[in-house]
Chains A and B, each alone.
Chain A
Amino acid sequence: MIAAAHRTHRGYAAFVIHRLSGVGLAAFLPLHFLALGTALNGEAALDDFLRWTAHPLLKAAETALVVLLTAHLTGGLRLLALELLGWRDWQKTAVAMSGGVSLAAGLMFLLNLGVP
């Protein structure tokens, strides 16, 4: 079946990840802006918010967001290269690089959380 066959292609996985990460980031952005806006109420208000984010579950969520952002960035760069530069021969490499760089960014963020 053609409909099932295209879903096994790496390009399809990259397309789905790009879409899902984009929607996730669009949903997160207003909350991120609202959180930063607490600084308008002074340092104490921002500190209260930062203390709330110190929970391990929220650190895990932050790390996931870093991975989502990097996945959307690298997936987007791949799309720009495909559409504007016509680089089609190295699609599989580009998809693999997108995944690798995204995970590496998340790992760097996670490792840096505990560095004094």
Chain B
Amino acid sequence: MSVRSETRLWLAQRASAAVLALCVIVHLATMVYAVRGGLSAAEILSRTRGSSAWLAFYLLFVAAVVIHAPIGLRAVLREMTTWRGRSLDFAVVLFGILLAALGLRAALAVFA
């Protein structure tokens, strides 16, 4: 991969990290609050379903994860193993597509 492409990946990793920092803080606070008194499907879904604002928030969260996680995994695998080249790039893109599909499905299941 060219230096320019590597630089773009580095920038995308940092930009998505900044978005994720905000998303994770909100997610952690919500989670710590939500587990009070135990969790039931009815309680969770009555709070979440039909909420466009939370759906938009979690779609942004998933989008940032889909950018951040594959680039991070690629960096770790390049540093810790001898795996390089197109096969590695293809594998992490595939992982990103899997995350996008499952993340979108989860967000729609809980918030739509």
Interface of A toward B, CB cutoff 8 Å: 19, 22-23, 25-26, 29-30, 32-34, 36-40, 43-47, 50, 66, 69-70, 73, 76-77, 79-80, 83-84, 105, 108-109, 112-113, 115-116
Q: What 0/1 pattern do residues 37 to 51 of B give for CB contact below 8 A with A?
A: 101111011000000
Given contacts A34-B102, A108-B32, contact A73 B24 (CB under 8 A): yes
Q: Are A73 and B37 in contact (CB under 8 A)?
A: no
Q: Closest residue of chain B to A76, judged by CB?
A: B17
Given contacts A23-B73, A29-B99, A39-B109, contact A112 B32 (CB under 8 A): yes
Find residues 77-112 in chain B having any chain A CB closer than 8 Å to their own CB: 95, 98-99, 102-103, 105-110
Ranked 8 nearest A-B pairs via Cβ: A33-B102, A36-B106, A46-B41, A39-B109, A43-B41, A33-B106, A47-B41, A40-B109
Q: Which residues of B contact A47 (CB under 8 A)?
A: 40-42
Q: Are A46 and B73 in contact (CB under 8 A)?
A: no
Q: Are B33 and A23 in contact (CB under 8 A)?
A: no
Q: Are A43 and B17 in contact (CB under 8 A)?
A: no
A22-B69, A22-B76, A39-B110 provided; 16 other pairs, C-beta below 8 A?
A26-B95, A29-B103, A33-B103, A36-B106, A37-B106, A39-B41, A40-B109, A43-B45, A45-B41, A47-B40, A47-B41, A73-B20, A109-B32, A112-B35, A115-B37, A116-B36
Secondary structure at the A interface, as helix, strand, loop or mixed, is helix
Secondary structure at the B interface, as helix, strand, loop or mixed, is helix
Q: Which residues of A contact B35 (CB under 8 A)?
A: 109, 112-113
Q: Which residues of A contact B32 (CB under 8 A)?
A: 66, 105, 108-109, 112
Total residue contacts A-B, CB cutoff 8 A: 96
Q: Are B31 and A66 in contact (CB under 8 A)?
A: yes
Q: Are A112 and B69 in contact (CB under 8 A)?
A: no
How many Å from the CB of A23 to the closest CB on chain B? 6
Q: Which residues of A contact B21 (CB under 8 A)?
A: 73, 76-77, 80
Decide if B18 is an interface residue (CB 8 Å cutoff): yes
Decide if B53 is an interface residue (CB 8 Å cutoff): no
Instruction: Give bound CA distance, A48 to B11, whole Å.
Output: 42
